[in-house]
Amino acid sequence: MSKSTPLPGYKTTKPAIPAIKSMFRELGAQDACIQLQELCAVYMQNSAAATNAPLDAFLHLLYQGNGIPHGTLSFSELRQLSAKSYIVLTYALFEKMLLEVIDYVKSSIPGSAAAWVTKSATGGRLPPLLELAANLPAAERQSLEGVPEFRLFEHYRAVRVANSHVVGNTANKAQVAFGLLSNNDLSHFTHCYELQAPNPASDITFQDFRLFTRAIKYYSRLVNEAARSAA
């Protein structure tokens, strides 16, 4: 008996594009590494609680005892930085896949490269997901833009930019991106993923990573279907 499609129920009827196959392998390996880091952090926190030691002092002793240099002894700050780094790493693999899918579509449609749109109405460079959607036929474009994950990825892209390019108003833009998620979007994530996420850019947690990487895997089915149909 075939397994039922998990929520949010996105499907593809077409063979997976090589870029998407590669992304699944890379995400799987990266997810395992990130989960190990989170396991170590939780174990450390529980170990400190078991000894009744202040967490930051416990962390200091671990650094000293293992000869590892450190930059900060604030465990809460390190957890926050780690959670944001998980988003940065995950977005890198997502973007890599999208750029390769863009190349696939352009190479599959004669003459499309010359007419390919890369700029927004204001003249800025389109992010990969928006670029892919903008150059697909109307039906395929709607299939990508019409689901809450489309806006979720723009939120996490803004988080990635804010933490990779800590200049200007990138942090404010990341906060604004979260505000673009509607109540219906948030209800969708609660119902389909059952996680305490998404969170604003200033309050990213490990749950955001879990939501992001799962959403990518489900949404990639829509990307595959749209790209294969367009090509």
How do residues 89-131 score in pLDDT, each as one tens digit? 999 999 999 999 999 999 998 888 889 999 999 999 999 999 9
Local confidence band at 59 (pLDDT 50, 70, 90 cut-offs): very high
Instruction: Say if 33 falls within a structural domain.
Output: no
Locate 26 and state its tokens: 């890379």
What mean pLDDT is predicted for residues 170-197? 95
Task: Give the span between the Cα atoms of 188 and 183, in whole angstroms.
Answer: 9
pLDDT value of residue 155:
97
Quote the tokens at residue 134.
């903008």
Mean of all residue pLDDT scores within the chain: 94
Closest CA to 84 of 164, 150, 30: 164
Q: Is residue 59 part of a domain?
A: no
The mean pLDDT value for 26-36 works out to 98
Q: How many domains does the chain have?
A: 1
Mean pLDDT in residue range 43-49: 96
Establish if 213 belongs to a structural domain. Answer: yes
Tell me the pLDDT band of 2, cut-offs 50, 70 and 90.
Answer: very low
Which domain covers residue 186, as residue numbers? Answer: 80-230
Residue 109 lies in a domain: yes
Q: What are 125-149's pLDDT values in tens digits?
A: 999 999 999 999 999 999 999 999 9
Taking the CB of residue 12, how many other CB atoms lie within 10 A of it?
A: 18
Whether the full predicted model's pTM is greater than 0.85, yes or no, is yes
Is 101 among the domain residues? yes
Is 44 a domain residue? no
Question: CA-CA distance, 210 to 212, in Å (whole number)?
Answer: 6
Query: What integer pLDDT is reported at residue 165 of this predicted model?
Result: 80
pLDDT, residue 1, reads 34
Q: Which two tokens stand for residue 42?
A: 């939780």
CA distance 154 to 105: 22
Strand partners, 70: none
**In the chain, what percentage of residues exceed pLDDT 90?**
89
Residue 45 forms part of a structural domain: no
DSSP 8-state secondary structure symbol assigned to residue 52: T
